[in-house]
Amino acid sequence: MIAAARNRGIALLRHPARAVALAFGAATLLGTFLLTLPVASASGSATDPFTALFTAVSAVCVTGLVVVDTAGHWSTFGEVVILGLIQVGGFGIMTLASLLILLVSRRIGLRLQMTAQAETKSLGLGEVRRVLLGVIITSLAVEAVIAAFLTAGFAAGHDYSFGRAVYHGIYHSVSAFNNAGFALYSDSMIGFATDPLICVPMMIATIIGGLGFPVLLELARRRKRRGKRWSLHTKITIPVYFGLLLFGALAFLVFEWRNPTTLGPVGTLDKILIGFFHSVQPRTAGFNSIDMAQVQPSTLLLNDVLMFIGGGSAGTAGGIKVTTFALLGWVMLAEIRAEPTVHIMGRKLAGEVQRQALTVALLGVGAVMAGTIVLLSISPFRLDDVLFEATSAFATVGMSTGITAQLPVAGQAVLVVLMFMGRLGPITLASALALRERARRYELPEERPIVG
């Protein structure tokens, strides 16, 4: 019995795409059921199944788009169900992504760091347990520390009762670490826009979750064994993640500095706090401390680009991931420089990885474009809002200019599909691409069509 269960578990891991989809589907169904219960709504009446489904998908996929106001519509029970779904979604994606990476890669040194086992294409249960434990312990530890800071911030600066401060502290810590973007306020974090005691811990939680488990693990191990080389994955992820953060903040500040409906009225230090808060959010937590319906069109488009790129691999962030983005840049650079191989920081990039990055990025562009065109054709909204909404769903960001609830049900269903694709697509696609056997084929004569 136990052996059979073990075999089944390991067999599932041999079909990672299936396992991931199954786990997320099951969590979504359970969440939908719980959210339809009358006890889950503030009014005490049952919630319609589609609203419950949308909310469950948004929570499990740690997106944060909502068709009903989280604070207003749900009871505390409903809010806790959502938080549970976020946590399960966060655990799930981090664990599964890390396992998939273990399976497919000798590359980031993760496997060697975590186990002495020889390189095979299956994982022992011990390995699975170790990754799961690592993810859970890391998550809970970070969440606890951030929750403590937030609790202090809510209690000290906003006259919350201790119980309420603890509840809000935990809620927003978990939501931020898992890059979920669900807030207990109808206006997200606008009420705390100028409070660094709330904004800064949430930004830190978002960044730690968004860098991804492999990077966190390497940073943690690094402290113990000095002198070891950093993996290329970490060496790319960290500068690109923080580089985009800085770029995003500067561009946000430039575009919004004088906008009377956003940064215009607040002081310089507050402007900078909001600028950095809003640069962290597209990678891909999705809180907002100013109203996104009021920003410049240029800010929205810049946010589209940043959201699409997203955060680190195998973390709680969405998007095509900063490594995918950076690798494409390096490939382009190598091409322009006429270098036959792509060299990154003293390492050669494997040829298949280039094609994988291209495939992940192009399928992402295709999904967002198709979703946007469908949404445009069935709703009265303009491209600014709709592209932002579709990108936000695909990159599991959850920011919105406020059109989510006004979309027709078919449009909300498009968002559900985009959220699932965006959450599960890149990682399962990339690992499926990397896992399968490469068939040797007969060779055909080579030919070069004209490009450009």
Choose among K ion, a second copy, none what residue 437 binds, the Cβ cut-off being 5 to 8 Å by kind.
a second copy
Which residue, 58 or 231, is less far from K ion as judged by CB?
58
Could you tell me the end-to-end alpha-carbon distance of the chain, in angstroms, rounded to an integer? 60
Choose among K ion, a second copy, none what residue 353 binds, the Cβ cut-off being 5 to 8 Å by kind.
a second copy
Q: What character string, x for contact with a second copy (CB under 8 A) and - otherwise, covers 205-244?
A: ---------x----------------xxx--x--------
Which residue, 127 or 256, is less far from a second copy as judged by CB?
256
Which residue, 198 or 386, is less far from a second copy as judged by CB?
386
Measured distance CA(95)–CA(21) in Å, rounded:
14
Measured distance CA(389)–CA(398) in Å, rounded:
8
Question: How many residues sit in the footprint of a second copy (CB under 8 A)?
Answer: 89
Choose among K ion, a second copy, none what residue 314 binds, the Cβ cut-off being 5 to 8 Å by kind.
a second copy
Which residue, 9 or 366, is less far from a second copy as judged by CB?
366
Burial of 270 (0-12, 13-18, 19+ CB in 10 A): middle
Kind plus residue range of the DSSP H or E element containing 171: helix 162-177
363 near a second copy, rule: CB under 8 A: yes
Q: What character string, x for contact with a second copy (CB under 8 A) and - otherwise, covers 317-336?
A: ---xx-xx--xx--xx-xxx
Near a second copy in 412-431, by CB under 8 A: 425-427, 429-431
CB 177 within 8 A of CB 209: yes
CA angle 13, 15, 16 (to 5 degrees): 65
Which residue, 105 or 396, is less far from K ion as judged by CB?
396
119 near a second copy, rule: CB under 8 A: no
Which residue, 300 or 416, is less far from a second copy as judged by CB?
300
405 near a second copy, rule: CB under 8 A: no
- Minimum distance of K ion from residue 284's CB (angstroms): 5
- Minimum distance of a second copy from residue 65's CB (angstroms): 20
| Contacts with K ion, residue ranges (CB under 5 A) | 63-64, 179, 181, 286, 397-398
35 near a second copy, rule: CB under 8 A: no
- Is the Cα torsion angle 276, 278, 279, 283 positive or negative in sign? positive
Measured distance CA(94)–CA(347) in Å, rounded:
26
Measured distance CA(428)–CA(294) in Å, rounded:
36
- Minimum distance of K ion from residue 324's CB (angstroms): 18
Measured distance CA(312)–CA(319) in Å, rounded:
9
CB 230 within 8 A of CB 215: no
Which residue, 20 or 180, is less far from K ion as judged by CB?
180
Which residue, 46 or 383, is less far from a second copy as judged by CB?
383
Choose among a second copy, K ion, none what residue 44 binds, the Cβ cut-off being 5 to 8 Å by kind.
none
In the DSSP assignment, the letter for residue 344 is E
120 near a second copy, rule: CB under 8 A: no
Measured distance CA(76)–CA(231) in Å, rounded:
43
**Residue 30, amino acid:** L
- Minimum distance of K ion from residue 60's CB (angstroms): 12
| Residue 61 tokens, joined | 């996929």
Choose among K ion, a second copy, none what residue 134 binds, the Cβ cut-off being 5 to 8 Å by kind.
none
- Is the Cα torsion angle 18, 59, 151, 164 positive or negative in sign? negative
- Minimum distance of a second copy from residue 328's CB (angstroms): 6
Q: How does 15-30 read in b/e, with b if 16+ C-beta sit within 10 Å?
A: ebbebbeebbeebbeb
